[in-house]
Chain A
Amino acid sequence: MELTTVWFVLIAVLWTGYLVLEGFDFGVGMLLGIFGRRRKGVAVAGGKTVSDGGSLSDGEREKNRRVIINTIGPVWDGNEVWLLTAGGATFAAFPEWYATLFSGFYIPLLIILLALIVRVVAFEWRGKIDSEGWRAWADRAIVFGSWVPAVLWGVAFANLVQGVELDADHQFVGGFFSLLSPFTLLGGAVTTLLFLTHGAVFLALKSDGEIRERAGALAERLAPVTLVVASAWAVWAQLAFSVAWTWVAVVVAAAALGVVVLTTRARREGWAFVGTAVTIVAAVVLIFGSMYPDVMPALDPANSLTVTNAASTHYTLTIMTWVAAALTPLVLLYQGWTYWVFRKRISADQIPASIGLSLRTITENAWGGKAGGGASSDSAPANDAPADDAEPAPRA
């Protein structure tokens, strides 16, 4: 195999890693908005076994939210690096692709970046302050930061499948609105549904108690919808833009989603997760398979960026191949170990009281001039959950 093709495949692998792993992170983040609502009487999941959540106290609701976030807590950051690696690898292996794609898809990427930024800080900062208002803002940021990329990655990849307006210099000349077509918007719907289902299955797999039930029930309801929408898009992509062999990917994706429909009904969470993961892998195969040998198909095929004309030199690709061959297995190994370490299900009764500090305005003299001024923070501070007092405080 040509090195350029090797790198095309490798970049597809990196995107697979990203979409499979961050796919459930996004799904879980979106579900935080659905299962973690603050108003009373929400009955999103519906279904027979699931309570409407209306009877929960605010404290129980907060514990549920923390169950949701903690299922991905130890891993989301490592998962996100797959994106940066995919970006870096594209830059190194196909500079022309990186340059045209990133300057061409400027506005969607900008919005994705803003979303990812607020999501990252919200995850880390949410528990740092014990205040309902603070957490509500963090939750909004997580929910926003999960929905936006889930939709936009789908739109972006559908554009790559469909082809974009490139001129003879391989510059994107289409403008923002050329990126929005029925096909690409449907692509956005597919990734959103897929990640929601994937996230719900993951949440059911990783949690216990009420959240597990609600996630399982929602996954059961989402799976058939996802099957229909994703299959419609895949067949459209296949018929309009792809080559014969990628039918395999379409069939595998559909079959895997069929398995998801059945296994979510039987609450076989592990198998359902395998199903959604395989679906995402198959989707990436379809997307990249339909593009090859282009990396960025142009509406006028003469202007397309291909694995050849977008690639780095043979020397650079050789170096990077060695680097990737040495390091990628290692990454898989220690990331896999992380999932092993945190393999246990999380339930609300394991969630400790918030260790965040109170959102107290600091009135004392922080300059330390008057030593007595700071006494209040040392002798049993008046905040409701001091860091060094780990007794679960009853919460209204």
Chain B
Amino acid sequence: MDALDLARWQFGITTVYHFIFVPLTIGLAPLVAIMQTMWVRTGDERWLRLTKFFGKLLLINFAIGVATGIVQEFQFGMNWSEYSRFVGDVFGAPLAMEALAAFFVESTFLGLWIFGWDKLPKKIHLACIWAVAIATNLSAYFILAANSWMQHPVGTIFNLETGRAEMVDIGAVLTNNTLLAAFPHTITAAFLTAGTFVAGIAAWWMVRLVRQGRPEKARVYRSAVVLGMVTMLVSGVGIALSGDWQAKLMFDQQPMKMAAAEALCETEEGAAFSILTIGDLSNSCEGVTHVIELPGFTSFLATGDFSAEIKGVTELQAEYEQKFGFTDEAGNPISYQPNLAVTYWSFRLMIGLAAFSAALALAALWLTRKGRMTDNVWFSRLALVAIPMPFLASAFGWIFTEMGRQPWVVVPNPNPSGVDGVWLLTAQGVSEVVSPGHVIGSLVAFTALYGVLAVIWFRLMKRYVVEGVADVEHDPSPDNPDRDAAGPLSFAY
């Protein structure tokens, strides 16, 4: 492997890893804020318990999200310095804005929230968690602005003299239609993740307590099941709608990714959507066989018309060769086709795994109808199994969108909008002065450290989940002066 492959592996590993924790933080922070709001507004102790219970899980998760996020900002310069030189004028802006507008807010106000339980007035303290929640979502907006620009560069010209992309319209960058679709998709996916997390854990606890004959305490969790379930249902609809829009934009902006997602080799009218496809590992079109197909469905996803023509990989390859050249600087032929198997399967896994949450949501909807609780063991098993699914779906979603973008790091914008010439192959973006040895060293170091941290993170989360909310019996009365004792303590270092 050369430095390019290693740098790509490193980016993939560190980014997918980072994005295990990010969606949970993005979704869970607002849910904890809602729980705390419910407590402040109603004075209902159950919501305080839930706030503290899920608040601790949020903190355990937040720490590792922050820690792995630092790497992300450094990595562009370390491994992808030629990319950074080419795009810095436009790509750096949203990153800097993110730090100034969002990251400062979330870090500062999280500190205030953790340590401010007994120091701030109730409502100000509540405002702190809302500040965190809003800032984490704003953070996502700026990061997605940067990413969407790579998928669909707008507001930019190529300057022949400086040899780089230069921003001419920040408004266009921040209102890129790719971004306007990706943001709700990512955010609703994060809410699905957090909703499943909250509902899954609470459902497991609820069943457990009902079976133990402790309905009073189980009722605390029922509130969380309902909150999580509603979050799942609403975000599920949002994911589908935004994903549909994304598919149509992708067809327009990155037809090769669309074709690869379907492993569609030859141009077709009324292209089918296949559920199962068998191919060999050579990444060539020859070995691809579609086994189970939904006729016309890919055409529908891409355009809304079941009989529309979808260009296949072979034809697109020829088009790209005409436009961007047959060979790279070293004279090697360029394949403009992403890895078919990875693109095809990650697309399906994203959809399929996310749909799993729907099963939990519907089961919860039925079993908790009209104030009911359940002792159904299968439901509690389903709840636990569902928890990791949206995490995996998010990971596959990113693997799809980034692997499907290859061999580009900045995809050429197909529409003649003054941004012609703004494109870069991934191979052109890698650092020139960084040796494979350096990248191997850092790859091994990050992977090993991340592996250890993942184990600790998981065990900590599990430990806190199994501990459950504070016992109702210990401080039943709202007038109990000690009732908040677990407050400041819960979050102190």
Q: Among the listed B78, B211, B446, which residue makes an inter-chain contact with A109, where contact means beta carbons less than 8 Å apart?
A: B78
Interface size on A, residues (CB 8 A): 91
Q: Which residue of A lies closest to B462 (CB)?
A: A362
Task: Let me know if A342 is at the binding interface, CB within 8 A.
Answer: yes
Q: Which parts of B75-119 form the interface with A (CB within 8 Å)?
A: 76-79, 81-82, 84-85, 87-93, 95-101, 103-105, 107-112, 114-116, 119
Stretch at the interface among B163-171, B238-246, B302-310, B409-417: B163-171
Binds A, one of B57-65, B247-255, B274-282: B57-65
A110 and B489 contact, CB distance less than 8 A:
no
The answer to the question of A44 belonging to the interface, with a C-beta cut-off of 8 Å to chain B, is no
User: What's the minimum C-beta distance from A375 to chain B, rounded to whole angstroms?
Assistant: 6
Q: Evaluate whether A327 and B101 lie within 8 angstroms (CB atoms) in the complex, with A103-B77, A352-B489, A377-B466 already known.
A: yes
The residue that B170 contacts in the complex, of A74, A103, A319, with Cβ under 8 A, is A319
Quick check: B208 and A374 within 8 Å, CB to CB? yes
Check: B172 CB closer than 8 A to any chain A CB.
no
Q: Which residue of B lies closest to A65 (CB)?
A: B493
Q: How far is the CB of B364 from chain A (nearest CB, A)?
A: 15
- Is B99's CB under 8 angstroms from A367's CB? no
CA of A83 to CA of B488, assembled, Å: 29
Query: What is the predominant secondary structure among interface residues of chain A facing chain B?
Result: helix
Q: How many A-B Cβ pairs are below 8 Å? A: 292
Identify the stretch in A88-96, A240-248, A290-298 within 8 Å (CB) of chain B at 4 or more residues. Answer: A88-96
Within 8 A of B (CB), among A92-126: 92-96, 98-104, 106-107, 109-110, 113-114, 116-118, 120-121, 123-126
* A366 touches B (CB below 8 Å): yes
Given A125-B460, A324-B100, A355-B489, A84:B470 Cβ within 8 A = no
The residue in B96, B432, B434 that gathers the most chain A C-beta atoms within 10 A of its C-beta is: B96
What string of 1s and 0s marks CB contacts (under 8 Å) between A330-352 and chain B? 01001100100110000000001
With a cutoff of 8 Å between Cβ atoms, the chain A residues found around residue B84 in the complex are: 91, 95, 98-99, 102
Q: Which candidate, B66-74, B186-194, B258-266, B291-299, is the interface stretch facing chain A?
A: B66-74
User: Is B474 engaged at the interface, CB distance under 8 Å to the other chain?
Assistant: yes
Mark A residues whose CB is within 8 Å of B: 66, 69-70, 73-78, 80-81, 83-85, 87-96, 98-104, 106-107, 109-110, 113-114, 116-118, 120-121, 123-129, 171-173, 312-313, 315-316, 319-320, 323-324, 327-328, 331, 334-335, 338, 341-342, 352-353, 355, 357, 360, 362, 364, 366-369, 371-372, 374-375, 377-378, 381, 386-390
| Residues in chain B within 8 A of chain A (CB atoms) | 56, 59-60, 62-64, 66-71, 73-74, 76-79, 81-82, 84-85, 87-93, 95-101, 103-105, 107-112, 114-116, 119-120, 164, 166-168, 170, 204, 207-209, 211-212, 214, 217, 375, 377, 380-381, 384, 431-434, 438, 441-442, 445-446, 449, 453, 456, 460, 462-464, 466-468, 470-471, 474, 482, 485-486, 488-490, 492-493
